[in-house]
Amino acid sequence: MIMDTVGFKKNKLAFDYLNVPLEILLKSRLTKKHSFVYGFGITEGFLLSSWTKQESGLRGKQKDHNSFDFNNFNTCLMGEIGVTEVVRMYFTYQITSLATDGLDQHPFCMGIRLLGI
């Protein structure tokens, strides 16, 4: 970690993983058009790239492509529940640590899918 006194207009960290999901999805019919859906699974991911983009008045725009000590592989648990073509709630939780440098961080995500999108 580096302490810096520069005020950034933009300070962005991004990373791209190639994920392969394996999910068991179960449906129970509610009506002719709609079903109750619930499922769970696991994804395995491989780090493709990671980068930062910073913009400040003092340094201008800077881009840095680096591994930033992220794990090259990740494993996530995932699940979802809802009604087809109406609404679904989903979650993911990364069971492997995000970084390799000693920080023990496990990201999670929750969201809603509307209208089957």
Residue 31 in any domain: the answer is yes
User: What is the residue range of 93's domain?
Assistant: 9-114
CA 84/CA 2 separation, integer angstroms: 48
pLDDT tens digit string along 71-117? 999 999 999 999 998 999 999 999 999 988 878 999 999 999 998 76
The total domain count for the chain is 1
CA 18/CA 20 separation, integer angstroms: 7
Tokens 């725009």 found at: 61
Find all residues with CB under 8 Å of 89, minimum gap 6, and list them.
80, 81, 82, 110, 111, 112, 113
What is the reported pTM? Answer: 0.79
Least-confidence region, from 23-27, 35-39, 41-45, 64-68: 64-68
| Cα 28 to Cα 25, 54, 78, 93, 94, distances in angstroms | 10, 49, 20, 25, 28
Residue 1 in any domain: the answer is no
Residue 1 has a pLDDT of 62
Find all residues with CB under 8 Å of 93, minimum gap 6, and list them.
76, 77, 78, 106, 107, 108
Residue 60 in any domain: the answer is yes
